Amino acid sequence: MGRAPWEEVREERAGNCVVTVRTAGSGGQPVVLVHGIGVSARYFQPLAAELSRNNAVYAIELPGFGLAPSPRRALSVPELGQVVVAALHGLGLSGVVLVGHSMGCQVAAEAAARAPELVHKLVLLGPTVNNRERSAAMQALRLAQDTLREPPAVNMMVFTDYVRSLVPYLRTLPAMINHRIEDVLPEVSCPVVLMRGERDPIVPADWLRRLAETNRGARVVEVPNVPHVLMYGRPEETARGFLAGDPHAAA
């Protein structure tokens, strides 16, 4: 499977924090990717390779994750959303397609609600946390189930990222579990696309439907035969799912 040749990897100040930004491609609609808890932007590589054919792609690594230095204290999900907004300002970006995965969906939703002038479309891939399973024990069980369904390359990547960011992961986990994305989505005014892999045990279909009810304009897309990290196994289908019908972007 192809990998995105990140053309540049650099640090950017975002408010009182520092993020790492990986870039690829040019032109088209700017697409900004926000990863989930404990991981880095590495698992976005197949999706970034697909998107960067016709679009400028920016993958933001949040403070404490990937190559980004840890913040002085644990940040809440709304604070992480503000970090993304500050990063967009620092990069001079507006009218972006803002894409989150897993906890990155919670962060991206906060950013879109706070800065509607910067976000053209909000895309949530495998949005957490299912409000019927909002506990560390249930999320650990679902993660274990998902691990059995992911390809070995994804599991190796995620595991090594978790080891590198164990302390930030543990500090951020309570904030992720207690954050209610369903309370944020009604405040998002741009178009919203909710996506899941058909075999995702972390984000069941009924949770996606319930989320869609909180934002009446939201579109629901399911990618067949893939688990939680849908954009790694099916990058083309994932890109088509959220860029289809958008005259400002090309997949």
Provide the pLDDT for residue 243.
Answer: 85
* Residues recorded for the chain: 251
Provide the pLDDT for residue 106.
Answer: 98
Is the pTM of the predicted complex or chain greater than 0.85? Answer: yes
Under 8 Å between Cβ of 190 and 96: no
Q: What is the pLDDT along the chain (251 residues), one digit of tens a residue?
A: 445 568 889 999 998 999 999 999 998 999 999 999 999 999 999 999 999 999 999 999 999 999 999 998 999 999 999 999 999 999 999 999 999 999 999 999 999 999 999 999 999 999 999 999 999 999 999 999 999 999 999 999 999 999 999 999 999 999 999 999 999 999 999 999 999 999 999 999 999 999 999 998 899 999 999 999 999 999 999 999 998 656 555 55
* Tokens of residue 216, six digits: 């009446």
- Report how far apart, in Å, the C-alpha atoms of 146 and of each of 79, 126, 152, 200 are: 28, 12, 12, 7
Q: Exposed, middle or buried: residue 114 (CB in 10 Å: 0-12, 13-18, 19+)?
A: middle
Residue with the two structure tokens 């207690």: 178
Neighbouring-strand partners of residue 98:
32, 122
Provide the pLDDT for residue 6.
Answer: 85
CA distance 171 to 247: 41
CA distance 235 to 68: 25
Q: Of 146, 132, 138, 125, whose CA–CA distance to 199 is shortest?
A: 146
Residue ranges and CATH numbers for the domains of the chain are: 8-243 (3.40.50.1820)
Provide the pLDDT for residue 217.
Answer: 87
Q: Of 18, 47, 212, whose CA–CA distance to 122 is shortest?
A: 212
